[in-house]
Amino acid sequence: MTHTQETPLLEVRDLRVEISTKAGKFFPVNGHNFTLNSGETLGVVGESGSGKSMTAMSLVRLLPKHAARVTSGSIKLEGRELLSLSRSEMRKVRGRDIAMILQDPQTSLNPSFTVGNQITEALRLHAPGPRSTLRERAIEALRKVKVAAPEHRVDSYPSQLSGGMRQRVVGAIAISCAPKVIIADEPTTSLDVTVQAQYLRLLKELQEDTGMGIIFITHDFGIVANLCHRIVVMYFGRIVESGTVERIFAKPAHPYTEALIAAVPKLHGHKGRLRTIPGSPPPQSEQPPGCPFAPRCEMADTRCFTELPPTVDADGDGEHLASCWRVAGQ
Amino acid sequence: MFYRDLYIKCTPKRLLAAVLLSGTVLTAGGLTNTASAEEKVVVAVSPLGADSNLYWATTGAFIFPSMQTLVGNDAQTGKYDNSQLAESWEHNEDFTSWTFKLHPAAKFSGDWGPVTAADVVHSFNLHIGEDAKLSGISNFRKMEITAVDDHTVRFDLPNPTPNFLFSHAGRGSLVIYSKAQFDAEGLAGYEAAPAGSGPFEYKEREVGQSLTFSTIADHWTGVSPEFDEIEFRWVSEPSTRLAMLSAGEAHAVTLPRDLQDDAAEAGQKVLSSSEGAMQSTMLFTGQFMNPEAEENRDARTYAWADQRVREAVNRALDRDAILEVLYGEGVRALPVYTMDPRFPGFSEEIAKGFDDAYGYDPEKAMALLAEAGYPDAFDTPEIPLVVTSLAGNPEFAQMAELVQAYLDVVGIKTQMREQDWATGNTAIRGFTADFVTPMRNAPVRPSALGVQIFFTKHASPHLDIGDPELNDLGGKLISETDPAARDEVLKAMFTRIFDSYAHIPMATVPASVVVNGDLVEGWNFPGASSSGLSHYHLIDLK
Amino acid sequence: MLKYLSRRIASSLFALLVITFIVFLLTQLSGSPVDALLPDDATQEQIDSFIREWGLDKPLWQQYLTFLGNAAQGDFGTSLKWPGQDAMGFVLDRMPATLELGGLAILMSVVIALPLGVAAAVYKGGSIDNGAQIFALVGQSMPSFWLGIILIWVFSVWLGWLPTSGMGSFSHAILPAIAIAWFQISALARLTRSAMLEVLDVEYIKLARVKGVSEWSVVWKHALRNAAVVPLTYFGILAASILTGSVVIETVFSWPGMGWVAIEAIRGRDFPVVQAVIIAYAVIYMISNLVVDLLYVVVDPRVRHG
Amino acid sequence: MAELHLQSHRLQNLWQKARELPLLPIGVLLIVFIIPALFAEVIAPHDPYVPNLRARLQPPVFFGGTWDYMLGTDRLGRDILSRILHGAWYVLAVSMIGIAVGVVVGTTLGLIAGYARGWFDGLVMRLVDISLALPAMLLALALAAAIGASFLSVVIVVGFALWAYFARQVRAEVLLLRNSDFVARSQVAGASHLRILFRHILPNVMNTIVVLATLQVGIAIMLDASLSFLGIGIPRPTPTWGLLVSDGRDFIATDWWISFFPGLAILLTVMAANMLGDWLREQLDPRQRQI
């Protein structure tokens, strides 16, 4: 938790997002703290509804209008506070400094425009140039994401491409402006396993080439293990555990993390029954006084139900944090 | 860059823009300034049956102040006068030969020369041509016309025709066109701008919209209107016409009767023709008075084949109340349809006996029905009352609703049938009609013409009610020439119709026009033309 | 593309053929022209010569074939109400008036409805949305002739701003165009709104925002381009209903277009013109649909390449 | 299958939402439309048909009239309120039957055309073209001339005017749906065409049908009014609202109440029906329920 001399690429402090509905207020992002360095991949893991996507959208300040807003905290990109930028300044950050890859390749490309058009649109906004140059750069971007015959594909419409191809195009859009950070929000969930693996390899290669930071959002610990350097685990709008991949896999501090890891099918491990976590998270509108995971936790005691556990340093070196009475109480 | 890109590539936008642009251009194309003459009188009327410069090609609905007929009508009394082309006329003893002398000063507009007998003969021949659709033109086909000299024409008729002047006056069948213009330009000349001899000159026609005439200075009749131009606008919606009047866009408009009250309340002036112009009635269809079986159906299947039923229908109606609702106060009830005090055959006795015989008496009506074999209620199928809103007579619908309500009280069930004119006529012509017809609203015409058309087989066989007595009398009327004897025959016919309750007479109604009180002082017209309007030069502006 | 177009034209022609048949039948079913065109007191010989002249004594199929043959050459006979006028020629003469009114009405509907619908969708639940909804509801809830008459009284008689009726300057077209457009504005705004709402929720809109595209461009380029397919589908119907609406509105405003001709001709039993005007309506409708089909292809690449 | 699940879930939800029913439109519909349509005989203060010539043109109560004729009387002295109340039934019958005809014919043809494609699709689309290309008003005029204007002819015209809209829209949606995954899955699973059409596709186009049908309530009532304007509506003396507005239209500037109140009845009814339709759509349409 100590500030290093070097400014991290992205630094999120005490970020809190509030959603107010008729049913009441709740916080899908509740006091997040994490950092991302250049060339690093940060995995954000959690079940659906844990606030992962909301975290991603709050980083680019694209929360659903009216319904959700950031109430406190700070997001610093290379030391620059994003939350205090004007709307047009923020628009310049999007796509140029922070790019995103969305979940669903089926719907994340606009069916009315050609692939090239959609790539150059970002370029036009952030790095204008003559038409022919833009087109060249779009083709270049496609080539980078290993799209075959990019000169040809650049004039295709999304409906003419396969799902994997479309997701590559989304990737091409993301990298076209050479962003510093890419947020990938479950980019592979709707792809089949082989395509998924290719895609992840591609991301890794791109990162090695450009040194960008990647925030990789997923519910799948299996992917995280191969791809990420560090992990934050989210549950019910809170970061319950964070640390390096090695630490967390070796010694998960939070029972939830443990359960998630146990849910990953092991290719070479024992053939035991796949574990699933019993129960489901509490409804968003109910804010339990204690640890939100307590009702599903096999190790919960009375304090877990009544008091929110503090975030503590699990290993004593600041590289592994967790919010659990089991750790805090030690 | 970005925008040029958009412009070149996004074709739908360009297409849409082109479509919209063309709409705007078209719209702007219509942006012609309506240069209105300083003194232009605008008269809005409901569209005529035909939009044509050729009188004979219409069925008679025609507004053309530039054209003249042979005989005129007095603005006050409606009596025939020599205000049109004929200076004087005479006929032989048995009314089979009529001679007209033309005004020597009469001339056509636009340098087409004086009006001569040759023009009359020429026009006559046009009128009886193949394409003629004029009402009553069939009689013309049997006549011979001779130009006696330059300013004298003679008509020789096969039958005695005491009412011949009617064919030449306001509702006449012969309008005089210029032969010189025809020889020079042919029909196309008429279609473009027919020369006429009236105090106005044809200016232009916007098909479906308007017809404009300009005033002639130093007209041969000495008539000099107060204004430079008169424009007739065809506007179907009565409320739109009233709006035009209220907005000061029109000087005068025709309106349905009940809207006239409203206009009067709103401060407009209602001007009525000096004489009754229209007669309204309801007619039973079929040869219900034929004692023999009718051609296609048994006459007795009509409920109204029974005179008691017909009387009951007439007795059930409170005419005073109905007429007040429909036409306002001061409209006379009509004792017999086609009878009029201005024409031969008028019977004082009938007029006096009307209240006794036709007066409102629901008890009597019910008693009659009971006597006729309908003790509790009228158990035959409902009598269809035909309503033709499409024909543009809004008061018919109200009349029908009122009649229905009154008949309902005495137990006669009716059913309103919305049906267009042609369908009804087809049924009547095919002798399959089974209804009480539209409330005929026909122009007043000489009794001898009307009674033959609507009650006997002699003029229009399909309207014959099948009464042998009436048909005999009608036959006599055709050959009778002695005025007194004709009068007697007509009286006998009217009495027969009256006594046998052969129809449901309603009222004689003047033609009327509503004028904007701020613009128009007054206007005298006799109500003797098909539109009811005439004598436009008498429009008196403020 | 050319093949697609020619197929569409061929099927339109087929539809047109069926329509000529329906038109012919309907005019046969209604009262005989004899009774409509001749005066009450027409004599038998007048009637007979009329029947011969119009070929009404021939069998029905023969009359239809004659009709069809002539119609194919644009010859629908001569008008009876407007003597001397060629029926189709007369209708075509009135067409610009209707297109002017219809064009203006379409312009008004698109110019007002599209932004209104888009704004309502973007600010869903806000005051613009509520206002647009109420506007749309009121517009769809008034009989057009009633609205027309009210417009005349308010704007022409009481305020004196615009002429009551007739055709002439541009100002004459404003009231009738509003009367026709109002209902369409409502319908179009509603459709645009719901289509936009659907599109605005889709991922590619999110992606566009993520790319740093401005909100304006997100709405008007990315969203509308995709949402436009729905209002565009409606465009064909819009054209049809504006034509239909013109029948009533042209009568109220004495606007001498095709709708006015249709009513006057039917009232006057002017069969040649009735037939010509219905066919003309059908042709306009089909052409506008063909245009919509083409626009479809241009707007939606899925159709083009699908 | 997921979609199916969603559907039933949505319907359940609808019942749960019953507590949040939009009271305003429902209330307006009941008061202005449904109750008058069913109970006019009981609640109308006067006979709607019998003229009372002594009470002609009475203004409404707050404009110099009396409580006896709350909304005034027409030119024959008939109570406007009673006529509106009695007219409601005819308006209800015409719009409901007309729309039902339109929905059943249009949806069935649209479903089959979109699903089966081929010659049947071509035929249906030509029919749609034909029916849209013939202005309903002109057809109505011809029909009225041919078979006479009657309740039946008005219903036929309304149904004729509406079916093509349903057919077109439904077909367009089916075209999109038939290529979607769940249809493909059902086909693979061996479901019959009929089952796919009515169990899988129909529920998914239901929203469109509901939205269109609510739009059509207004169109149907308006068409009825236009027909009355042209004199070919339900024949007199039946006081359909269209006839009342049409009959009173000439007197807008003077005896305004004759057409104003029937017009208001139309306005309120159509507005309420549309509002109710909007509410239904929001409940049924999952895409719009997302925040």
Contacts of C254 in chain B (CB under 8 A): 209, 233-237, 240
Contacts of B461 in chain C (CB under 8 A): 44
Round the CA-based radius of gyration of chain C to a whole number and report it. 24
**Distance in Å from the first CA to the final CA of chain D:** 24
Instruction: Out of D146, D270, D281, name the one closest to residue C30 (CB).
Output: D146
Which whole-number Å values give the CA distances from B459 to B35, B292, B297, B483, in the listed order? 49, 21, 22, 20
More confident residue, D65 or B36: D65
Give the C-alpha separation, A272 to B169, whole Å. 116
Give the C-alpha separation, D256 to D74, whole Å. 10
Tokens found for residue B209 = 């919209």
Q: H-type helices in B328-393, by residue range?
A: 348-358, 362-371
Can you tell me which residue has the tokens 């975290």? Answer: A55
Measured in whole angstroms, how far is the alpha carbon of residue A116 from the centre of its chain?
A: 26
At B508, phi and psi to the nearest 5? Answer: -105, 130
Of the CA atoms within 13 Å of residue D31, those in its CB half-sphere come to 9
The answer to whether A270 touches A83, Cβ cutoff 8 Å, is no
**pLDDT over 50 at B43, yes or no:** yes
Can you tell me which residue has the tokens 């888009």? Answer: C118
Q: What is the pLDDT of residue A1?
A: 41
**pLDDT over 50 at D6, yes or no:** no
Q: Where are the domains of chain A?
A: 10-97+179-328, 110-178
Q: What is the pLDDT of residue B3?
A: 36
Contacts of D249 in chain C (CB under 8 A): 145-146, 149
C276-305 as b/e: b if 16+ CB within 10 A: bbbbbbbebbbebbebbebbbbbbbbbeee
The answer to which of A169-173, A214-218, B3-7, B307-311 has the lowest mean pLDDT is B3-7
Question: What's the longest Cα–Cα distance across chain C?
Answer: 85
Tens of pLDDT, residue by residue over A257-315, are 888 888 776 655 444 444 567 777 777 667 778 888 888 888 888 888 888 888 888 77
Average pLDDT, chain D: 80
Q: How confident is the model at residue D290 (pLDDT cuts 50, 70, 90)?
A: very low
Give the C-alpha separation, C189 to C183, whole Å. 10
Tens of pLDDT, residue by residue over B128-167, are 887 777 777 777 888 899 999 999 999 999 888 888 888 8
Tens of pLDDT, residue by residue over B448-468, are 888 888 899 888 788 888 889
Tokens found for residue C238 = 């819009």
The answer to whether A267 touches A261, Cβ cutoff 8 Å, is no
- Contacts of residue B466, Cβ cutoff 8 Å, sequence gap at least 6: B286, B287, B288, B289, B290, B294, B299
ipTM: 0.73
Amino acid at A315: D
Q: CA of A175: which chain C residue's CA is closest?
A: C211
**CATH class of residue range A10-97+179-328:** alpha beta
- Contacts of residue B98, Cβ cutoff 8 Å, sequence gap at least 6: B89, B90, B91, B92, B154, B155, B157, B161, B164
Q: CA of C255: which chain B residue's CA is closest?
A: B209
Contacts of A132 in chain B (CB under 8 A): none
CA neighbor of B348 nearest in space, from B218, B508, B494: B494
Q: How confident is the model at residue D5 (pLDDT cuts 50, 70, 90)?
A: very low
**pLDDT over 80 at B26, yes or no:** no
At A228, phi and psi to the nearest 5? Answer: -95, 155
Tokens found for residue B28 = 């702007």
Q: What is the mean pLDDT of residues D247-256?
A: 83
Distance to chain C for A318, nearest Cα, Å: 33
Q: How confident is the model at residue B352 (pLDDT cuts 50, 70, 90)?
A: very high
**pLDDT over 50 at B11, yes or no:** no
Tokens found for residue D239 = 């006081």
Write out the E strands in B66-209: 72-73, 80-81, 86-91, 97-102, 144-149, 152-156, 200-206
The backbone region for B111, taken as left when phi is positive above 0, alpha when psi lies in -120 to 50, beta otherwise, is left
From the candidates B260, B325, B401, B409, which should be mutated to test the interface with D, based on the most D CB atoms within 10 A? B401
Q: What is the mean pLDDT of residues A313-326?
A: 82
Q: Which helix (H) or strand (E) holds B416?
A: strand B414-418
- Contacts of residue C79, Cβ cutoff 8 Å, sequence gap at least 6: C85, C86, C87, C90, C265, C270, C272, C273
DSSP for residue B107: B
Beta pairing partners, C70: none
Q: What is the mean pLDDT of residues D210-228?
A: 82
Count of other CB atoms within 10 angstroms of residue B371:
13
Q: What is the mean pLDDT of residues D88-103?
A: 91
From the candidates D171, D211, D214, D222, which should be mutated to test the interface with C, based on the most C CB atoms within 10 A? D222
At D151, phi and psi to the nearest 5? Answer: -55, -45
**pLDDT over 80 at A161, yes or no:** yes
Which whole-number Å values give the CA distances from C150 to C144, C165, D58, in the listed order? 10, 13, 21
Q: How confident is the model at residue B103 (pLDDT cuts 50, 70, 90)?
A: very high
Q: What is the pLDDT of residue B35?
A: 35
Q: What is the mean pLDDT of residues A22-36?
A: 81
CATH of C87-305, one of 1.10.357.140, 3.90.550.10, 1.10.3720.10, 2.20.140.10: 1.10.3720.10
Interface partners of C (3+ CB pairs, < 8 Å)? A, B, D
Give the C-alpha separation, D236 to A307, whole Å. 78
Which whole-number Å values give the CA distances from A114 to A140, B13, C305, in the listed order? 16, 17, 12
Highest mean pLDDT pick, A191-200, B275-284, D10-19: B275-284
Q: What is the pLDDT of residue B376?
A: 63
Average pLDDT, chain B: 82
> Hey, are the CB atoms on A111 and C302 less than 8 Å from each other?
yes
Q: What is the pLDDT of residue D84?
A: 92
Domain with CATH 1.10.3720.10 in chain C: 87-305
Q: Beta B86-91 vs B97-102: how paired, if at all?
A: antiparallel
Q: How confident is the model at residue B23 (pLDDT cuts 50, 70, 90)?
A: very low
Beta pairing partners, B417: B386
Give the C-alpha separation, B306 to A82, whole Å. 99
Beta pairing partners, A311: A323
3-state secondary structure of D52: coil
Give the C-alpha separation, B528 to B171, whole Å. 6
Q: Average pLDDT for consecutive 10-residue bins of chain C (306 residues)?
A: 77 84 75 65 71 78 85 82 82 88 87 86 82 79 86 88 85 89 82 81 79 79 78 74 81 87 77 84 82 75 58
pTM of the model: 0.77
Tens of pLDDT, residue by residue over A73-116, are 888 888 888 888 888 888 888 888 888 888 776 778 877 788 88
Q: What is the pLDDT of residue B299?
A: 47
